[in-house]
Amino acid sequence: MDLNRLKSFLGEDWTRVEARIGEQLRSDIDVLNMTNSRILEHSGKQLRPLLALLVARACSGGRLTDAGISYAAAAELLHNATLLHDDVADSSDQRRGVPTIRSLMGPSVSVLVGDFWLVRAMECILGCDTPLDGRVIRLFSRTLSDLAEGEMFQLQKAETCDTDEEDYGRIIFNKTASLFEAAAVSAAISVNASQEQEQAVRIYAVSLGMAFQIRDDIFDYSPSSSQVGKPVGVDILEQKMTLPLLGALRNAGADEGADIRQKVRDIRSNPGYRDEIMAFVRTHRGIEYATKRLGEYIDKAVKALEVLPDSREKDFLAEIADYVGKRLS
């Protein structure tokens, strides 16, 4: 999918979102402005605000409110805030093929800039001054709680190495799908969408977010991931048991599975286990298992769109789902 084509379709609405983000980040501190500009230059796919605009227009016959612009901008600001914090937690030197703020300016700066983006995201919502703000603030506040709990639960499971698929689902909902949900549902709220439409949008966004993260986790077991600047096997070295490994464990015998879980527990002192674990995933068709589950989420997302009236925006939402399922980066 050509995301630039989508931005062109959204036209002035997309321009307003970019302008709103720029307005929120403006500061009289030069080094902060310089750092923010660098982040914006490498802003990635920007799926969450694109999703928000499409949802608002699909639910309203093309109408968009100023509050909807702010909620879309807030979703992108919050997303980038979490990435700045994640880079510190994961000691990441690169993101999207370029050096992270953590690697260039240190972890303290990355955390402080992330805090700045986070506060400006919430101010973006509060600045709307509409009767809808209470629901939207609670929605984004819950997302912030989900993000923190997801990270801590993942850390807990990395210690015990007893992650099952239910645990994994909770982690990826909290860390990824929750913000997709906030972006899409706040957009529906901004145009007073019907309860039926709002629920459909929620199902679509959560399913899309789950699929998005599963796709990322598949990349960690795929040699082609190196083409997008992401080394393979990183999750295993961090004792993160994601769906490809869980699928392989499901397909393997109990004894072999117990041995692999023990190797994950011991991998910090024996990093050479990584290649053995990755071979186990390939042998027991873990990537195929994860890909099947990804497809199920994509199908669920597309089906949820049936509630919405036919429109070009609805078509684009379906295209985004297809893109998330097949993306290579």
Does residue 1 surpass a pLDDT of 90? Answer: no
Tell me whether residue 249 is in a domain: no
Tell me whether residue 315 is in a domain: yes
Tell me whether residue 280 is in a domain: no
Tell me if residue 311 falls in helix, strand or coil: coil
pLDDT at 232: 85
Q: What is the mean pLDDT of residues 301-328?
A: 96
Does residue 216 surpass a pLDDT of 90? Answer: yes
**pLDDT per residue as tens digits for the range 86-107:** 999 888 898 877 899 999 999 9
Does residue 60 surpass a pLDDT of 70? Answer: yes
Tell me whether residue 271 is in a domain: no
Q: What is the CATH number of the domain that holds 202?
A: 1.10.600.10
pLDDT at 230: 61
Tell me whether residue 296 is in a domain: no
Does residue 227 surpass a pLDDT of 50? Answer: no
Tell me whether residue 113 is in a domain: yes
Does residue 47 surpass a pLDDT of 70? Answer: yes
Tell me whether residue 136 is in a domain: yes
Q: What is the mean pLDDT of residues 143-170?
A: 96
Does residue 137 surpass a pLDDT of 80? Answer: yes
What are the counts of helices (DSSP H) followed by strands (DSSP E) for the chain?
Answer: 17, 2
**Who's near 50: CB < 8 A, 6+ residues apart?**
3, 6, 7, 10, 14, 320
Over the Cα atoms of the chain, what is R_g? 20
**pLDDT per residue as tens digits for the range 22-39:** 999 999 999 999 999 999
Tell me whether residue 206 is in a domain: yes
- Total domains in the chain come to 1
Mean pLDDT of the chain: 94
Report DSSP letters for 144-183, one per residue.
HHHHHHHHHHHHHHHHH----HHHHHHHHIIIIIHHHHHH
Q: What is the mean pLDDT of residues 289-299?
A: 98
Percent of residues, the chain, with pLDDT higher than 90: 87
pLDDT at 131: 58
Range of the domain at 21: 3-216+301-326
Structure tokens at 206: 């959560």
d(CA 102, CA 4): 29
